[in-house]
Structure 1
Amino acid sequence: MQRRHFLMLAGLLAAGTALPASALRAQGVDVDAILRDPAAPTAGNPKGDVTVVAFLDYNCPFCKKSAPDLERAVREDGRIRLVYKDWPILTEASVYGAQIALAAKYQGGYDKVHRALMAIPGRGVSKEQMLKAVQGSGIDLARLDADLKAHAGDITALLRRNLAQAESLGLQGTPAYLIGPFRTSTLDYAGFKEAFTEARRRQAAQ
């Protein structure tokens, strides 16, 4: 498994249950906001027994490398709830990518734009390259532009919440995955599957 670094979060996300309020305040972490922000895009099984929270940047090569494996692992498992946290920290174009992905959510197209942006090879991808990739995704571009303008405030607010959540967790970069009670960085398909199994084992043992 690549860059396998599991760190226990003291049950922070185990089975989707929160730590005692006093502990959360002490750590400065809002578990419910991380797990269940209604504006955050989600995939997988909404009633899954393990929640995966993915903090990603569209200019992150490690995010791009692991994205297909994560999608495959979630799809094949069938019992994973996946929450996307767009966390554009690398370049100005990263912010643009996050904005258009989140704007696409209003026409039910977040997944399409997410896949299109993650499929662009390399790092340092420009806004122009991102827009070109989105043009081939099947998204209604006129609606995308309108939603980007109409919901600019909501999108900015969500990105700020994602940033605050990442900082409260002490995340240092992308990708960062919260898998049940674990925090990890880049994984491959086998690594995600193993993490799902271990998360369930830990949850069952509590």
Structure 2
Amino acid sequence: MIKRRTLFMATAATLAAPSLLRAKEPSQKDIFFDKDVPVLGNPKGDVTIAEYFDYQCGYCKAVHPVVTKVVKDDGNVRLVMKDWPVFGAASVFAAQAVLAAAKLGKYQPAQEALFKLSGPLTPDRVQQALEDIGISKDLLTKTVNANSKDIAGILDRNWLQAEGLSFQGTPSFVIGATLYPGALQESDLKEAIAKARKA
């Protein structure tokens, strides 16, 4: 559990739900069109990529520039980033912080700031990274607290979806109707998008 001194409180549901609730296979609507999850790329794109990730995952950090480039170059892909904080309390903290930044209109800058951090995360490192892009600690805390129920709901749903899809770790992708566990090379990602587009 995240300590109170961090000023963020992970809800009991967020940390307990994965083990207490039974995961079922989610629908494409559940995965691709959760109204509370920010969308990057082209919101009206004809193909959607959902990536289940953790800000402390080295493979997620390595593949992020590849995914970003492919989505930008294609121009017709929706990118749905599904926070799946599997590496413990610091990962939950990071996910909460960036989802709060989304409420302030700074989702992508906040996400980029955390992906650029190397090594294990701490609440202090996360807060400093977000302060560096103009989100003060006080504003971040206020925003997380004001939206704690919504943020907890997102994390719970993402976790249960990942379990329902039988993903074993991060990153994992859903592209069209196909599951892709593990990091993807640029060529693999392009091929997956093309396959989804043809379908």
- Kindly state the Cα deviation for residue 113 of structure 1 after the two structures are TM-superposed: 0.9
1:187 corresponds, among 184, 190, 199, to 184
- Kindly state the Cα deviation for residue 90 of structure 1 after the two structures are TM-superposed: 0.9
- Kindly state the Cα deviation for residue 111 of structure 1 after the two structures are TM-superposed: 0.7
1:139 aligns with 2:135: yes
Q: What SS class does the counterpart of residue 94 from structure 2 fall into? A: helix
Aligned to 1:20: none
Aligned to 1:63: 60
Contact 1:41–1:83 (8 Å) recurs in 2:
yes
Aligned to 1:125: 121
The runs of 4+ residues in structure 1 deviating greater than 6 Å are none
- Kindly state the Cα deviation for residue 47 of structure 1 after the two structures are TM-superposed: 1.4
How does 1:1-206 map onto structure 2 within 5 Å?
A: 28-122=25-119, 124-184=120-180, 185-201=182-198, 203=199
Distance 1:125 1:146 in 2: 21
Question: C-alpha offsets along residues 4-49 of structure 1, whole Å, 9 cap, x if unaligned?
Answer: xxxxxxxxxxxxxxxxxxxxxxx63233111111001111111111
Taking only the aligned residue pairs, the percentage that are identical comes to 38
Calculate the TM-score normalised by the size of structure 1: 0.80
Distance 1:198 1:81 in 2: 15
- Kindly state the Cα deviation for residue 102 of structure 1 after the two structures are TM-superposed: 0.4
Q: CA RMSD in A?
A: 1.5
- Kindly state the Cα deviation for residue 192 of structure 1 after the two structures are TM-superposed: 1.8
Contact 1:116–1:134 (8 Å) recurs in 2:
yes
Distance 1:28 1:56 in 2: 18
Q: What SS class does the counterpart of residue 170 from structure 2 fall into? A: coil
Aligned to 1:13: none
Listed as ranges, the gaps of 5+ residues in structure 2 are 1-23
Question: C-alpha offsets along residues 119-154 of structure 1, whole Å, 9 cap, x if unaligned?
Answer: 1113x2222222222221233543322111111111
